[in-house]
Structure 1
Amino acid sequence: MGRNRPIPHIKPEDADFIRSLVIHEDDQILAFNKPSGLAVQTAGGRGQSVDFLLWAFAKSNGKRPKLVHRIDSGTSGVLIVARTQPAAAALSEQFARRTARKTYLALVGGDIPAETSGTMDQALLKVPSDRGGREKMVPSSADTPKAQTARTDWTIIARSGAHALIRAKPRTGRMHQIRAHMAALGCPILGDRIYGTGKMSADRLMLHAQQLELKHPDGSDLTLEAGAPPDFLEKASSLGLEVA
């Protein structure tokens, strides 16, 4: 939402693409159902990313929508952005105070817990990645310097042998939180190249941001939902798991 900035050229097909992802739009916010593989933000702010493609919604004076939270490139699902500075402040505060409620679906494999539900209340520490990424999160004692408290509530929706469909609700917002917690639980997310077996288990990270509940900047309750995409549903079906 910078003032009087030059507007980069957006190809018509790219503008059509980002507009096709819109699941909610009003004068204060936009929400998208982001596909897996589309980065939310890239180095330098250019290239095929949501952040760059938001220029398709820029006003003539160069003001454009602003990111207020992020999901991993491999994760699909709900992403909200602000169209005005007051909206950005209101939404950012909710994410900072952890009052925005997030719900994810994950296909996992490995040592599936016998319990139907539980909570991972394991602190996470950011360390250099050994699998082609810049950084990753590892379980740590809460009193370790720089360790971050992290909590994820999880529920098994369906199970089939060594695989399960899990609903995960992060209560904190740490980098890779659900991915690291599922791996620590003994059942990493399928397709996770950092915490799991990567393409040996799935063509992409099988994590989907299904729902986001928060207050609209106007004060009303807002629930944003995105159905699981075809590749997620097909993978679940192939494992004998039904996505309700």
Structure 2
Amino acid sequence: MTRNKPVPDISPEDVAFMRGLIIYQDFDLIGFDKPSGLPVQDGRGIDRSLDSLLVAFARSNGKRPKLVHRLDAGTSGVIIVAKTQPAAAFFSAEFAERRTRKTYVAMVSGAIPSEREGVIDAPLVKVQEGGRARMIVAKAGRKGAQSARTGWKVLAASDTHALMQLSPETGRMHQIRIHLAHLGCPILGDTIYGTGAQSAPRLMLHASKLEISRPSGVTATLEAPLPDIFGELAEAHGLKDYSGL
């Protein structure tokens, strides 16, 4: 006989916090607008994460929703969790087989492209530096290199800064961040591939939209509005054609 797992304690404040992040919910999934700074998983000194806070939705048997994809801690925006194990398997396959459509918005600085849109096609490989994993653009034939493609479009620009829309075709670690740095315009606030807090108080990358099929065959479209800081920095850096998207 299987006994129910005990449900870990969670404060009423954390329950309210998690419920306040919900932007979508159906039989299969819950969609959240994750704030920048909230890690997706525990580990390496992290004991408060989106995953650990999912206990707010635990059933009486202790089972709680399951992660099916990731966002970097500094990235804000749309992230989903599956309500059941079958749904988790389905959604994990959707991401693995690249059948989802993901849209991000980033604020960058540096060598702003003269073109309005394009595709970055640069393979990536993971390396360890100072005990921390990071990605680098790989030379042809390098062992462990993985293909990586990111579509981009300039939404608003000045001579030194731009607001860009990104559409990753693959899902490598830090893909958008390293690709934009490779393009010559790293994301503001990026502590690994850019200038960190010198340029912005947070990583200026936001997962604005996710389109994913549900087990029923119906596509779910989840959207999260840009945080206010994007508008504030757009104005500060002279992006006069910024419209708030």
- State if a TM-score over 0.5 links the two structures: yes
Alpha-carbon distance in 2 for matches of 1:91, 1:193 = 31
* SS in structure 2 at match of 1:218: coil
After superposition, the C-alpha distances for 1:174-194 in whole angstroms (9 at most, x for unaligned) are 000000000000000000010
> Any gaps of 5 or more consecutive residues in structure 2?
none
Whether contact under 8 Å (1:45, 1:51) holds in the other structure is: no
Task: Give the TM-score normalised by structure 1.
Answer: 0.95
How is 1:30-109 mapped onto 2 (pairs within 5 angstroms)?
Answer: 30-43=30-43, 47-109=47-109
Question: Could you tell me which residue of structure 2 aligns to residue 233 of structure 1?
Answer: 231
User: Counterpart in 2 of 1:205?
Assistant: 203
Query: 1:143-176, CA deviations, whole angstroms, 9 ceiling, x for partnerless residues?
Result: 2100111000000011012100000000000000
CA deviations 1:42-93 (Å, max 9, x no partner) are 1189722100000000000011100000000000000000001111111000
| Aligned length, in residue pairs | 241
Distance 2:63 2:171 in 1: 28
Task: Tell me how far 1:3 sits from its aligned partner.
Answer: 7.7
Give the letter for the 1:9 counterpart.
Answer: D
Determine helix, strand or coil for the equivalent of 2:107.
Answer: strand
Distance 1:200 1:45 in 2: 25
Aligned partner of 2:182 among 178, 181, 184: 184
Q: Distance in 2 between matches of 1:99 and 1:182?
A: 23
Equivalent residue for 1:135?
A: 133
CA contact (8 A) 1:46 1:52 kept: no
Q: Where in structure 1 do 4 or more consecutive aligned residues deviate above 3 Å?
A: none
Counterpart Cα distance in 1 of 2:231 and 2:95: 29
Name the % identity: 56
SS in 2 for 1:43: coil
> 110-119 or 139-148, which moves further after superposition?
139-148
Cα deviations by residue, 1:91-145 (Å, 9 ceiling, x for unpaired): 0000000111100000000001111111110001111235xx7111011124210
Q: Tell me the residue number matched to 1:165.
A: 163
Q: Distance in 1 between matches of 2:150 and 2:140?
A: 15
Q: Is the 8 A contact 1:142 1:149 kept in 2?
A: no
Deviation at 1:236, TM superposition (A): 1.9
For 1:74, give the aligned amino acid.
G
Question: What displacement does 1:41 show?
Answer: 0.5
What is the rounded CA distance, in whole Å, between the counterparts of 1:15 and 1:166 in structure 2?
Answer: 34
Change (3 A) 1:185 1:3: farther
What amino acid maps onto 2:114 in structure 1?
A
Compare 179-188 and 209-218 and name the one that shifted more.
Answer: 209-218
Distance 2:72 2:44 in 1: 17
Secondary structure in structure 2 of the residue aligned to 1:13: helix
Q: RMSD over aligned Cα, in angstroms?
A: 1.7
Query: 1:15: how far off?
Result: 0.7
Q: Indicate the residue corresponding to 2:147 in structure 1.
A: 149
Instruction: Find the aligned partners of 1:105 and 1:184 in 2 and give their Cα distance.
Output: 17
